[in-house]
């Protein structure tokens, strides 16, 4: 059986493999490879390679960096189909969704390719007589990305291209559940002409993570994953002097008001809840519905949920594939059962879903649960599966209260035909990303992605302008070039606040 290893200093790295874990084909329920977990020593080798590479890469011209980014972009486009098959095989999502994931990552590569413009500083001539002041940004050093299983291509592409374009070097620690996409990206970076050591991959679990968080030569850490781990990453890395952006979990609500187009809302909520089997941090997992239209919307959601084609991700007709592991399936089905135990109504029950020819696959069918209350476990937990809860409310004010009471603040949406309601909603909800008649409001690459409350630890959102600021540090230079020795000799011994002198 294949053993999946690391990528260090520009080439595949054959690990000691003191510890391994299985990598599944979720559609068949079969182990297809073993993943070698990095030891602290192997992590040190990767960080060391990145640290050595930083000395030269940080001095490479912006034009050269941009050229390599453009080359990487072209290779990513040319190999999208191959990369999508790798993602689908290990994650389970359908091929079209895997291609969409790569496409959203590609947007960040394109944004990062404009790094000469993005790193322009400011200049103030003659701030005082004979004195000019200007600012510029420099890279930090070795940056680390710790990424989740649900987007094995996109999230690394949200981090590494911008970090590298800014002049940093990068060590990626991908999820141990679907690790192969990271090595494919490493090869594309090498083929694009990125110098050895600028991009590295170490596989593994908490041992590898802790080694990265505490390593003296790591300057910055980016993380996307669950809230408990985000909190741990932020606390540990900050304690060890790192700059940290840690994006946590979500419980994304979509409000449907009585004046909404219900057919449009149901269509969008179905896709947003069940796409990628609900394994998205921006999935809509709660529909907060005005009482007057709740019955009609639930009927539409139930009809559409039953029509979702649940099949292996490689099936071109599939709408939705399996979940990632047997443990994930077991947890999702337990939470569905808990909703029924708590008194909610299972309108469509996806437990026990079987796909012909793939009876051992990790499939959970689309699930619609009505009359869910905020105290129910199925509401409190981030289910991360193909489940949508329906919470009924009297109107917009109560809907906003439901959202703002929830500890998460990643994404939300509203379906309405009222501009007044939409404006009130977007200003009053305590959530970082908002969709108006848009179910999954993931910002384009030239804005930044990130939530509020327990969905973000640290102040920096990911990619976009905030990403550039995160991966760089600012300098301000105040300069004078005296014309004569006489002018230089007139230096003052006191601190002057008068810029007119």
- Predicted confidence (pLDDT) per residue in 96-111, tens digit: 999 999 999 999 999 9
Task: Please give the torsion angle defined by the CA atoms of residues 339, 345, 348 and 352, in that order, rounded to the nearest 10 degrees.
Answer: 40
Among residues 46, 281, 289, 344, which one is catalytic?
281
Instruction: Identify any residues that bridge with 392 across adjacent strands, giving them in sequence order.
Output: 289
Would you place residue 394 in the very low, low, confident or very high pLDDT band (cuts 50, 70, 90)? very high
Domain 252-436 = CATH 3.40.1010.10: no
Task: Look at residue 332 and tell me whether its pLDDT is greater than 50.
Answer: yes
Q: CA-CA distance, 261 to 249, in Å (whole number)?
A: 29
Task: Look at residue 498 and tell me whether its pLDDT is greater than 60.
Answer: no
Q: pLDDT per residue over 221-265, tens digit each?
A: 999 999 999 999 999 999 999 999 999 999 999 999 999 999 999
Strand, helix or coil for residue 173:
strand
Task: Look at residue 33 and tell me whether its pLDDT is greater than 50.
Answer: yes
281 is catalytic: yes
pLDDT of residue 497: 58
Quote the CATH superfamily of domain 3-248+455-476: Aldehyde Dehydrogenase; Chain A, domain 1 (3.40.605.10)
How many C-beta neighbours within 10 Å does residue 232 have? Answer: 19
Q: CA-CA distance, 293 to 316, in Å (whole number)?
A: 35
Q: Where are the domains of the chain?
A: 3-248+455-476, 252-436
Q: pLDDT per residue over 74-85, tens digit each?
A: 999 999 999 999
Task: Look at residue 487 and tell me whether its pLDDT is greater than 90.
Answer: no
**Angle at the Cα of 454 (from 379 to 403), degrees rounded to 5?**
45
In the chain, pLDDT over 90 holds for what percent of residues? 95
Would you place residue 18 in the very low, low, confident or very high pLDDT band (cuts 50, 70, 90)? confident
Report the largest interatomic distance among the alpha carbons of the chain, rounded to a whole angstrom.
91
DSSP string, 109-159: HHHHHTHHHHT---EEEEEETTEEEEEEEEE-SEEEEE--SS-TTHHHHHH
pLDDT of residue 500: 43
Task: Look at residue 501 and tell me whether its pLDDT is greater than 60.
Answer: no
Torsion over CA: 374, 376, 379, 381 (sign)? positive
Contact residues for 284 (Cβ-Cβ < 8 A; gap 6+): 252, 253, 254, 269, 272, 273, 388, 413, 439, 440
Closest CA to 4 of 235, 133, 166, 182: 182
pLDDT of residue 77: 98
Q: CA-CA distance, 366 to 308, in Å (whole number)?
A: 7
Would you place residue 484 in the very low, low, confident or very high pLDDT band (cuts 50, 70, 90)? low
The reported pTM is 0.94
pLDDT of residue 14: 86
Closest CA to 184 of 147, 149, 151, 153: 153
Average pLDDT over residues 455-461: 93
Q: CA-CA distance, 406 to 144, in Å (whole number)?
A: 30
Backbone angles phi, psi at 77, to 5 degrees: -65, -45
What does the mean pLDDT of the chain come to? 95
Q: CA-CA distance, 223 to 159, in Å (whole number)?
A: 9
Q: CA-CA distance, 448 to 415, in Å (whole number)?
A: 23
Q: CA-CA distance, 275 to 79, in Å (whole number)?
A: 23
Task: Look at residue 219 and tell me whether its pLDDT is greater than 90.
Answer: yes
Average pLDDT over residues 285-303: 98
Task: Look at residue 499 and tell me whether its pLDDT is greater than 80.
Answer: no
pLDDT of residue 203: 97
pLDDT of residue 424: 98
Closest CA to 315 of 149, 80, 92: 92
pLDDT of residue 483: 78
Instruction: Identify any residues that bridge with 4 across adjacent strands, giving them in sequence order.
Output: 35
pLDDT of residue 489: 60
Would you place residue 482 in the very low, low, confident or very high pLDDT band (cuts 50, 70, 90)? confident
How many C-beta neighbours within 10 Å does residue 476 have? Answer: 11
């Amino acid at each position: 059986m294949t053993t999946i290893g690391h990528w260090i200093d520009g080439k595949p790295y054959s690990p000691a493999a003191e510890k391994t874990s299985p990598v599944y084909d979720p559609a068949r329920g079969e182990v297809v490879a073993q993943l070698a977990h990095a030891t602290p020593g192997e992590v040190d080798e990767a960080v060391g390679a990145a640290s050595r590479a930083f000395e030269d890469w940080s001095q490479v011209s912006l034009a050269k960096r941009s050229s390599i980014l453009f080359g990487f972009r072209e290779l990513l486009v040319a190999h999208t189909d191959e990369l999508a098959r790798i993602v689908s095989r290990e994650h389970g999502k359908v091929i079209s969704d895997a291609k969409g994931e790569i496409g959203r990552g590609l947007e960040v590569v394109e944004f990062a390719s404009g790094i000469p413009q993005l790193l322009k500083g400011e200049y103030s001539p003659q701030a005082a007589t004979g004195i000019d002041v200007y600012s510029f940004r420099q890279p930090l050093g070795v940056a680390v990305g710790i990424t989740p299983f649900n987007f094995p291509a996109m999230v690394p592409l949200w981090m590494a291209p911008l970090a590298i374009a800014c002049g940093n070097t990068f060590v990626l620690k991908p999820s141990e559940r679907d690790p192969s996409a990271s090595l494919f990206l490493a090869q594309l970076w090498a083929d694009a002409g990125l110098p050895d050591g600028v991009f590295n991959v170490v596989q593994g679990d908490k041992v590898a993570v802790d080694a990265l968080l505490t390593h003296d030569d790591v300057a910055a850490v980016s993380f996307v994953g669950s809230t408990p781990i985000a909190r741990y990453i932020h606390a540990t890395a900050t304690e060890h002097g790192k700059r940290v952006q840690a994006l946590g979990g979500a419980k994304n609500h979509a409000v449907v008001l009585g004046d909404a187009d219900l057919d449009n809302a149901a269509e969008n909520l179905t896709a947003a809840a069940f796409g990628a089997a609900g394994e998205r941090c921006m999935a809509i997992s709660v529909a907060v519905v005005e009482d007057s239209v709740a019955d009609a919307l639930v009927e539409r959601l139930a009809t559409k949920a039953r029509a979702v084609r649940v099949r292996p991700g490689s099936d071109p007709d599939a709408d939705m594939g399996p979940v990632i592991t047997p443990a994930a399936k077991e947890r999702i089905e337990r939470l569905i059962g808990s909703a029924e135990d708590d008194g909610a109504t299972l309108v469509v029950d996806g437990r026990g879903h079987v796909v012909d020819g793939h009876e051992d696959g990790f499939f959970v069918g689309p699930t619609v649960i009505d009359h869910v209350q905020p105290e129910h476990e199925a509401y409190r937990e981030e289910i991360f599966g193909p489940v949508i809860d329906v919470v009924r409310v009297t109107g917009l004010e109560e809907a906003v209260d439901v959202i703002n009471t929830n500890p998460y603040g990643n994404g939300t949406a509203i379906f309405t035909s009222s501009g007044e309601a939409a404006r009130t909603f977007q200003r009053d909800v305590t959530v970082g990303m908002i969709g108006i008649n848009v179910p999954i409001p993931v910002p384009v690459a030239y804005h930044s992605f990130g939530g509020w409350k327990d969905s973000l630890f640290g102040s920096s959102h990911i990619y976009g302008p905030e990403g550039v600021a995160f991966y760089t540090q600012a300098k301000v230079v105040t300069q004078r070039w005296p014309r004569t020795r006489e002018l230089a000799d007139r230096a003052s011994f006191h601190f002057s606040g008068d810029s007119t002198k």
